[in-house]
């Protein structure tokens, strides 16, 4: 069915950053057929349905390209300890941190995990998010990692959202492998990856039309490269194995220190390197050469009261594409809301409003290997977009706590309307 969405103002987020005001979009089923100025609508296009948008702004559906939103329990007590002065690394070294969420996640049934994770996804969907990346990493044994990834697929199956999954088995050392980190990496490589990572298309993200439950569990492989987690060499070994299976890779790197993560990720052509507070000029140059997206996670920076800012100037100077995400997780980023993350990227990291909007649309799509399918309003892309009751897109990332999203369209259908 052809639908005309008219009398809108459209931030296309295409290469040229085109804006159409007043503009129109024509969608055919789940895809965009045409976009342009209202006045230029081709006479040959005869829509069967017209939606009048009364001057509201349209952006591509937002993309949260880094979340850990499937987990059980919460870590409010740990947050209280951190606000009283204890460090994240100190709490982790006593068996808290990631491992405390691992215990809760292992203990939860698949249905319980789904039930606990669903409200976090719903919170993102209310803000115009139509694509979400979801990591494993709180299971740390094969069955529990697979359970998390199945929950991610089930969330997609029951909600108007596209989910891209990442296997983050190398997130922390599970108790069964204490002081045997290399054995753990070997197990992931020789046992887990072939079992749940195989049978994947080389191109990355899911194809439109695939049923989420029939897709392989893993879309990409992630790791946590840090002095409290895994070395660059260990992450490099996982990446080599993942790439051999045709899986793209991404990395948590330079969050608390610089142990060479971005350099290794760049050598493996990683889709993204995420966090990057401690990355330097040479890292920015390496990311630029490999076409890797820098994913900045300002809520984790904020919630950890981090002082080291990511090297935004070096990323810009080297032309590294920058994306922004929530990092939704119970430890460093208890946040299931992308709009405040956009606000923090502007206020704390000094990104412009245009950089932030690109960071949650086209660059976020690229971080997921999906930029040919989504992330901009262009003919042939997914008809996923958000409609905003704002005077200008500058208001996205201006409000620190208000949601001006009034409509969400996914695959050409209105999936949410809110009075704003
Ligand atoms: O992205 N850095 C490692 N992983 C998460 C934190 C996970 C947790 O503390 O539970 C992050 O910040
Ligand atoms: Fe993370």
pLDDT digit string (tens) for 242-256?
999 999 999 999 999
What is the phi/psi pair of residue 364, to 5°? -70, -40
Strand partners, 185: none
CA 257/CA 240 separation, integer angstroms:
23
Where does the pLDDT of residue 199 fall: very low under 50, low under 70, confident under 90, or very high at 90 and above?
low
Task: Look at residue 211 in the predicted model and tell me its pLDDT.
Answer: 85
CA 334/CA 329 separation, integer angstroms:
5
Question: Which distant-in-sequence residues (6+ apart) come within 8 Å of 371 by Cβ?
Answer: 362, 365
Which range has the worst mean pLDDT, 50-59, 208-217, 300-309, 317-326?
A: 208-217
Atom of ligand 1 nearest to the CA of 71: 10
CA 147/CA 70 separation, integer angstroms:
10
Which range has the worst mean pLDDT, 67-76, 137-146, 201-210, 354-363?
A: 201-210
97 C-beta closer than 6 A to ligand 1: yes
105 C-beta closer than 6 A to ligand 1: no
Q: What is the mean pLDDT of the segment spanning 260-277?
A: 98
Pocket test for ligand 1, best of 276, 301, 305, 331 (most atoms within 8 A of CB): 331
Segment holding 364, helix H or strand E: helix 362-367
Q: Say if CB 141 and CB 106 are below 8 A apart.
A: yes
CA 43/CA 62 separation, integer angstroms:
31
Chain-centre distance for alpha carbon 209:
21
CA distances from 157 to 87, 153, 211 (A): 38, 6, 7
59 C-beta closer than 6 A to ligand 1: no
State the DSSP code for 304: T
Q: What is the mean pLDDT of the segment spanning 409-419?
A: 98
Q: Say if CB 199 and CB 216 are below 8 A apart.
A: yes
SS3 of 170, please? strand
Q: What is the pLDDT of residues 278-306, one digit of tens each?
A: 999 999 999 999 999 999 999 999 999 99
Q: Which ligand minimizes its atom distance to the CA of 73?
A: 1
Q: Say if CB 384 and CB 406 are below 8 A apart.
A: no
Task: Look at residue 95 in the predicted model and tell me its pLDDT.
Answer: 87
Does position 370 have pLDDT exceeding 50, yes or no?
Answer: yes
How many CA atoms does the CB half-sphere of 23 hold within 13 Å? Answer: 20
Question: Which distant-in-sequence residues (6+ apart) come within 8 Å of 389 by Cβ?
Answer: 56, 404, 405, 406, 420
CA of 331 to the centre of ligand 1 (A): 6
CA of 97 to the centre of ligand 1 (A): 8
Where does the pLDDT of residue 268 fall: very low under 50, low under 70, confident under 90, or very high at 90 and above?
very high
Where does the pLDDT of residue 200 fall: very low under 50, low under 70, confident under 90, or very high at 90 and above?
very low
Does position 204 have pLDDT exceeding 50, yes or no?
Answer: no
Task: Look at residue 209 in the predicted model and tell me its pLDDT.
Answer: 55
| Cβ atoms within 10 Å of 49's Cβ, excluding its own | 11
Atom of ligand 1 nearest to the CA of 226: 2
For every residue of 307-321, DSSP letters joined together read -PPP-HHHHHHHT--
Task: Look at residue 198 in the predicted model and tell me its pLDDT.
Answer: 74
Where does the pLDDT of residue 201 fall: very low under 50, low under 70, confident under 90, or very high at 90 and above?
very low
């Amino acid at each position: 069915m052809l639908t005309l969405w008219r009398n809108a103002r459209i931030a296309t987020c295409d290469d040229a950053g085109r804006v159409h005001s007043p503009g129109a979009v024509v969608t055919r089923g789940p895809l965009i057929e045409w976009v342009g100025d209202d006045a230029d609508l081709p006479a040959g296009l005869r829509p069967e349905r017209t939606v009048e948008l009364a001057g509201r702004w349209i952006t591509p559906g937002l993309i949260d390209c880094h979340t850990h939103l499937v987990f059980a329990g919460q870590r409010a007590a740990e947050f209280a300890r951190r606000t009283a002065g204890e460090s994240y690394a100190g709490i982790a070294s006593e068996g808290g941190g990631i491992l405390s969420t691992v215990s809760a996640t292992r203990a939860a049934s698949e249905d319980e995990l789904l039930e606990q994770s669903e409200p976090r996804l719903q919170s993102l969907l209310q803000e115009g998010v139509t694509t979400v990346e979801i990591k494993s990493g709180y299971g740390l044994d094969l069955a529990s990692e697979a359970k998390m990834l199945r929950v991610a697929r089930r969330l997609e199956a029951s909600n108007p959202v596209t989910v891209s999954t990442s296997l983050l088995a190398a997130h922390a050392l599970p108790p069964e492998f204490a002081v045997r980190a290399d054995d753990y990496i070997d197990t992931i490589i020789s046992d887990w990856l072939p079992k749940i990572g195989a049978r994947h298309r080389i191109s990355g993200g899911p194809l439109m039309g695939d049923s989420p439950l029939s897709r392989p569990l893993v879309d990409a492989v992630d790791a946590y490269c840090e002095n409290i987690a895994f070395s660059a060499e260990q992450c490099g070994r996982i990446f080599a194995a993942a790439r051999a299976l045709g899986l793209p890779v991404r990395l948590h790197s330079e969050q608390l220190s610089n142990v060479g993560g971005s350099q290794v990720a760049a050598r493996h052509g990683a889709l993204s390197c995420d966090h990057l507070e401690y990355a330097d000029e040479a890292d920015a140059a390496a990311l630029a050469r490999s076409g890797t997206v820098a994913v900045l996670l300002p809520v984790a920076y904020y919630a950890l009261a981090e002082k080291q800012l990511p090297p935004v100037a070096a990323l810009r100077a080297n032309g590294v594409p920058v994306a922004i995400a929530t990092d939704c997780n119970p430890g460093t980023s208890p946040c299931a809301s992308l709009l405040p993350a956009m606000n923090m990227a502007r206020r704390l990291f000094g990104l412009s409003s245009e950089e932030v909007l690109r960071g949650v649309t086209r660059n976020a799509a690229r971080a997921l290997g999906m930029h040919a399918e989504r992330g901009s309003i262009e003919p042939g892309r997914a008809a996923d977009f958000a409609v905003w009751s704002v005077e200008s897109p500058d208001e996205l990332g201006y409000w620190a706590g208000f949601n001006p999203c009034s409509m969400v369209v996914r695959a050409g259908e209105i999936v949410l309307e809110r009075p704003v």
